[in-house]
Amino acid sequence: MWDWFYKLASPPHFYRIASALEPWLLWTAIVLLGAGAYGGLVLAPPDYLQGEGFRIIYVHVPSAFLSMFCYVLMAVASAIGLIWRMKLAYSVAAATAPVGAAFTFLALVTGAIWGQPMWGSWWEWDPRLTSELILLFLFLGYIFLRQALQETRQADRASGILAVVGVVNVPIIHYSVEWWTSIHQGPSLAKLDTPSISGDMLWPLLVMIAGYQLLFLAILATGVRTQLLEREKNSRWVNDLLTTGVIGEAAR
């Protein structure tokens, strides 16, 4: 198992696997997103209280889930990079940040679009909303810090420390609706054994989350490949790849 892990951590090996998987991830994500959107917009019945407006959860919940998932992945990858000084781990963290920022932005904006008809307000300084906004600032801080530092190693270390320290915000976002008085509704998906959402409404949501997750992985596969090309531009395997279109046997 460790052999497999060490092999995966090798940039040319990861590059090859990511190149092969990317189209499969992308097309599966597109199919799932189409099915989930159709299920959420057409097949799911309207909510007894929120009416048709509840359908916004089919884009809001996957974005919010992915925003936290991306941050945890970025922090774990950064921690691995800081401890074992792995280029691949730093590449994963750097490629995750812009996608995570996009998901966080979407979670905030779709939440605001839902809030206007339901709460009568686009924004409230509620613990869940405020901690999600802090998450967006953490992603942006990570991206700007990397851009501000010219030297790659320095950028990796500084942004890695920021990512690891900022992960404390993720449990705050998740438990904010339980720890403090909040107008945001409580968790529905975290308790799948006793679901507070009907099966007719639940399946399109799970399909949408799976679609978002696979789309993220497809984007990540391309983002990490870009990072690896830039970081390894002087290495033999990148040279082989650019001249022949394939990675040399020795680098695998």
Partner 1 sequence: MGGYARYVWSAFGLSFFVLAAILWLTRRNFAQTQKTLMRRMRSMEGTQK
* Angstrom distance (rounded) from CA 143 to CA 98: 7
In sign, the C-alpha dihedral spanning 233, 11, 79, 171 is positive
Encoded tokens for 144: 């700007």
Nearest Cα residue to 131 out of 177, 87, 95: 177
Cα–Cα separations (whole angstroms), residue 166 to 79, 81, 109, 211: 12, 16, 22, 27
Q: By C-beta, is 40 or 127 nearer to partner 1?
A: 40
Q: Which stretch binds partner 1 (CB under 8 A): 70-78, 151-159, 196-204, 213-221?
A: 213-221
Helix (H, G, I), strand (E, B) or coil at 173: helix
Smallest distance, Å, CB 20 to partner 1? Answer: 15
Indicate whether 97 belongs to the interface with partner 1 (CB under 8 A): no
Tell me which of 219, 237, 247, 251 binds partner 1, using CB under 8 A: 219
Tell me which of 14, 15, 39, 55 binds partner 1, using CB under 8 A: 55
Tell me which of 106, 173, 207, 247 binds partner 1, using CB under 8 A: 106
Cα–Cα separations (whole angstroms), residue 198 to 188, 190, 195: 10, 14, 7
Tell me which residues touch partner 1 (CB under 8 A).
26, 33, 37, 41, 51-53, 55-56, 58-60, 63, 98-99, 102, 105-106, 109-110, 113-114, 116-117, 212, 215, 218-219, 222-223, 225-226, 229-230, 233, 238-239, 242-243
